[in-house]
Structure 1
Amino acid sequence: MTGKAIPGLSLADQPPDYEALVAWWAHMREFAPVHYDEKLGYWHVFRYEDAATILNDHTAFSSDMRDLIPQPEQFATVAKGAFLGFDPPQHKKLRNLVSKAFTPRVTAELEPRIEKIAEELLDAMGGSEKIELIDQLAYPLPLTVIVELLEIPAVDRFRFKKWSNALFFQGRTDEPVIVATPEMLQSIEPAIGEMNGYFLDIIRKRRSRPGTDLISKLATVESNGERLADEEILGVCGFLLVAGHITTTMMLSNAVLLLGDHPEHTATLRAAPSAVPAAVEEVLRYRGQLPAAPRRTRQRTNLHGVSIPPDEIVLVWLTSANLDERYFPTADRFDIARTPNHHLALGRGIHYCLGAPLARLELRIALRAMLRRWSGFTVGEGVRLEDPRHTIGAKELPLHVRWEDESPTL
C-alpha cells in the first residue's frame, strides 16, 4: 500500500468550505487514513490514534522545518524564539525559561482584569440590538489582555493586527497551502521587519530598566545560568500576538456560531454556568480553530502499512482527529456535557500550547458575560468565515441580541 494518488482527494481539490472539509475528513478517515497528496507534496494523517502518536513522538516527527523551508532574514530573526518549531534540547531550554516567566499564577491573576475588560466591551455596545461580535468583543478582548500583559502602548493596536496576521497567515492567500513557502515568507518580510524593530527596542529598554510586565520577566528570568536572548524574547512576543489573540478570537467566534445553532445548549449554560468549562472543551473538539499541525519525518515511518520516507512533511489534521468516531462516541454530535474529552485542538506532547490556560480562561469569561448580559441572540446575515483550510473561525459575525433588563450574577 502506497497511500498515494487517490484521484480528486488532494487538499487542493477541496473548496474553502467547512462542511466540504468535514466530508473530506470523514471519507479519508475511512478509506485513506494516511494519504500522500501529489499536488501539494504533503502526507495527510486523519485519524485520532495516528494524530496523537505523531504529536507525542517528537523524535520520529520533528517540528523543526528550518532546513527544509529556507527563512528570509526578518522571519528567521523572530523565529529564534518560536520554540513550537524547535526540537529538544533547544525547545526544552526555551520553553523552560518562558514557563518561569509566564506561569499559571500569572494567568490566574489576570482573571479579574479579563472580566472587567469583557464587561467594558459589552457596556460599549450600548444595548444595541445589532452587534458585530468580532470587532466589538472577540478581537479586542484577547488583544487588550496581551497589550496589558506586555505593557505596550494601546495606541499601536492597529499595527499589531497587521503583524499578527503576517505571522499567523505567513503570506498565504486563497491557495490551499498549509506550510508556507519561501516566497510566501518573503512577502511578509516588511511587516515582520517593522515588528522586530518595534519589539527589540522595547526589549532592550526593559532589560536595562525592568518592570513587572511579562517582557521584563522574560528579560530577567534565569535557569541553570541561561537567559533568553533579545531575539528569543522577540519570538515569544510574536507568539503571544498570534496565539494570544487570533486563536482566541477564532475560538470565541466558533463558540457563538455553535451556540447560535443550538439554542437548547445556550439555555442550559445560562441556567447552569458551571457547565461552561465543559462546553468550552466541546467547542474546541467539535470546531477547533487550527485545522492541521505540520511535522517532518526524521526517519522512515510506517502508519497503516504506508511507508513514509524521512524528510517528508506530514500534516496532522487535528480537526479530523477530533471528529474521529473511532475515539469519540457520537463524534458528529455537539455535546456540551461530553466527558471525557481528550481532544487535540491545543496540541499534545512537548508542544502542547503554553497559552492554553489563558485562552480557556478568556473564552469562559467571555461566554459567561454574554450569557449574563443577553437573554438571547441569533446569528444575523452577512457572516464572513475564514478559509477553513488555514484557520476555522469568523472574520465577521453579526448578531441580533436581546439584552437582559437586569444582570444577575452567574
Structure 2
Amino acid sequence: MPDTVPGLDLADQPTGYEALTAWWAHMRDHAPVRRDRALGHWHVFRYADAVTVLTDHETWSSDLRSLVRQPEQFAIVARGAFNGFDPPDHRRLRGLVSKAFTPRVVAELEPVVRRITRDLLDAARGEREVELIDALAYPLPLAVIAELMRVPLTDRERFRRWADALFYQGRGDDPVIVPTEEMLLSVEPLIGEMNAYFLDVIAERRRRPGDDLISGLVLAEDGGQRLADEEVLGVCGFLLVAGHITTTMVLGNAVHLLATRPDAAAALRAEPAAIPAAVEEVLRLRGQLPATARRATRDAELGGFLIPEGDVVLVWVASANLDERRFPDADRFRPDRSPNQHLALGRGIHFCIGAPLARLEQRVALEELLAAWRDFRLGDGVEFVDPRQAIGLRRLPIRPVWADHRRPR
C-alpha cells in the first residue's frame, strides 16, 4: 500500500527546494494521496485531486480553528480572517470586504505602484550589485499596503514582524502543518501589538472616515450588516500577510528565473505586453505558498483512500502546478504558456481576493525593472526560504547593467 512505504513522510525529506520538488514528483507518480505517519495528516500531490479538494468546500473545510486552542490575541484577529472560514460566515465577510476592495480601488493603485517601484529602483541606480529582496521585493508591497490603508510607512518594520508572526505562527524550522498552542504563544505578544495598533486605527476611521481601504471596510454595508472592529482587524492582518508574502516571494522568484534566462528577460523587455502571461507562469512554476490545509467534514474518498471525518489534508498546490498530467513540460519556464490554470492563487470560493492587486504589482514591477536594467545576472550569496513553508528567496543579489536613461515619469 502506498501509505506504508517508509521514508516518504514530510519529516524524512531534506530541506531545499530541489529535494522537495523531487519528493513531489516521486509522490505524484507513486503515492499521490498518502497519510503522513509522523504528522497524522494526509498529503495530496496531483492536480486533479487538488482541484477536487479546493473546489468542494462542503466536504473539505478551511476552518481549522478547532484543531488547536488559540491564544487570546490570535482568536481576536481570527474573527475576521475569512480565508479560514466556511459559508455562511465566509460568504458574509467576503461579500462585505469585496464592497471596499473593488476592482476600481485596485486599478487606481497602478500609478502608486509605478511611482513606488521607480523610487526604489532610483535609490539603487548605479549600484554594481543590488540585493533585490531588501531593495525592491520587500519594501514595494509594504509601501503599497501602507498607501492603501493610509498608515505611516515609517511603521513598515513593525508590519514585517507582524506579517511574519501571522504567516509562520511560531513554527520555526519544524515541518508541521497545524501549529501547536506553544508555537502560537511564542508569537502572541507580536499579534497583541498588531491588534492594538489596528484597532486604534479602526476606531479613528470610524470617527473620521476617509478614502482609504480601512475606512471603506468600516463603511461597507450589505443588507444592514457591517463589519465589526475585530472583523476589520482580521482583514488588515490578512492583507499584511497576503500582500507581503505573495509579492515579495513571487517577485523574487520572477527575477531569479529571468536572471538565469537572459533570452526570456530580453524578450519581455522587447514586448512588455507579454509580461502578464509571464507572471502567471512564475506563479505556476514558483508560486509563493507550497501547500494549503483542509479538514474533512465527513468520511470522504480521495485518490482511492477513505479519509476519515476530522482528518487534515495538506494540498501541495506547488506540486499540483508541476503535474505533467496537466501541464506539458511542467518543469520548464514557458512565459507564453497557455492555457495556464495554475492553483497558486487558489480555486473555488477561497480564490485569493487580493489576486488583482498581486498581479498588478508583479506586472508593474517587472515592467519598470526590465526598463531600468539592460541586462542582469545573479550575484553570489543567493539564499532561499525553507520551501516547506514558503517558496521564495531570503537574499537575491543581482548584478544589473543599468539603462542609460530613466523612463519619463
State the TM-score bracket (shorter-chain normalisation): over 0.9
Partner of 2:25: 26
Q: Distance in 2 between matches of 1:291 and 1:178?
A: 11
Q: Which structure 2 residues correspond to residues 291-330 of structure 1 after superposition, within 5 A?
A: 291-330=290-329
2:245 and 2:288 in contact (8 A); partners too: no
Residue by residue, what CA displacement relative to the aligned partner does 1:295-326 show, whole Å, maximum 9, x if unpaired? 00001111221111010010000000000000
Which secondary structure does the structure 2 equivalent of 1:4 belong to?
helix
User: Paired residue for 1:180?
Assistant: 179
Deviations 1:165-224 (A, max 9, x none): 100111011111132222111111100001101100110111121111111111111001
Gaps of 5+ in 2: none
1:3-402 alignment runs, 5 A limit? 3-402=2-401
Structure 1 residue 35 displacement after superposition: 0.2
Distance in 2 of aligned mates of 1:212 and 1:105: 13
Whole-angstrom CA distance in 1 between matches of 2:406 and 2:87: 50
Q: TM-score, normalised to structure 1's length?
A: 0.98
Q: After superposition, what is the alpha-carbon deviation per residue over 1:72-108, rounded to whole angstroms, capped at 9, x for unaligned?
A: 1100100100000000000000000000000011000
What letter matches 2:277 in structure 1? Answer: A
- The aligned amino acid for 2:37 is E
> Aligned pairs, how many?
409
Distance in structure 2 (CA, Å) of the matches to 1:145 and 1:321: 30
Partner AA of 2:93 in structure 1: L
- Following superposition, the deviation at residue 261 of structure 1 comes to 1.7
Per-residue deviation, 1:264: 1.3
Report the Cα distance in structure 2 between the residues aligned to 1:407 and 1:164, rounded to whole angstroms: 33
Counterpart of 1:388, as a letter, is P
Which runs of 5 or more structure 1 residues have no equivalent in the other structure?
none
Q: What are the superposed Cα offsets for residues 247-306 of structure 1, whole Å, 9 maximum, x if unpaired?
A: 210000000111112111111101111110000000000111100010000011112211
Distance in 2, Cα, partners of 1:164 & 1:37: 29
How far apart are 1:408 and its partner, in Å? Answer: 6.0
Which ranges of 4 or more aligned residues in structure 1 deviate by more than 6 Å?
none
For residues 133 and 369 of structure 1, the distance between their equivalents in structure 2, rounded to whole angstroms, comes to 14
Do the aligned residues in 2 keep the contact of 1:178 with 1:389 (CA within 8 Å)?
A: no
CA contact (8 A) 1:285 1:345 kept: yes
SS of the residue 1:378 aligns to? strand
C-alpha contact (below 8 Å) 2:371/2:403 kept by paired residues: yes
Question: Deviations for 1:316-344, whole angstroms, at most 9, x for unmatched residues?
Answer: 00000000000111111110010000000
SS in 2 for 1:218: helix
CA 1:250–1:266 in structure 2 vs 1: closer, same or farther (change >3 Å)? same
Name the aligned partner's letter for residue 136 of structure 1: A
1:121-175 CA-to-partner distances (Å, cap 9, x unmatched) read 1110131111110111001111100001101112211111111110011101111
Give the Cα–Cα distance (whole angstroms) in 1 for the partners of residues 217 and 156 of structure 2: 22
**Distance in structure 1 (CA, Å) of the matches to 2:133 and 2:228:** 35
Deviations 1:54-79 (A, max 9, x none): 10000000000111222111001001
RMSD: 1.2
CA drift of 1:409 comes to 7.5
> 1:221-259: per-residue Cα shift (whole Å, max 9, x none)?
100110000000000000111101222100000001111
CA contact (8 A) 2:3 2:31 kept: no
Identical aligned residues as a percent: 63
Mapped to 2, the partners of 1:197 and 1:391 lie a distance apart of: 28
Q: What residue identity is the alignment partner of 1:192?
A: I
Q: Secondary structure at the match of 1:81?
A: coil
Task: Give 3-state SS (helix, strand or coil) of 1:307's partner.
Answer: strand
Normalising by structure 2, what TM-score?
Answer: 0.98
CA displacement at 1:379 relative to structure 2: 0.8
Cα distance in 1 for partners of 2:175, 2:9 equals 10
CA distance in 2 between partners of 1:276 and 1:383 (Å): 24
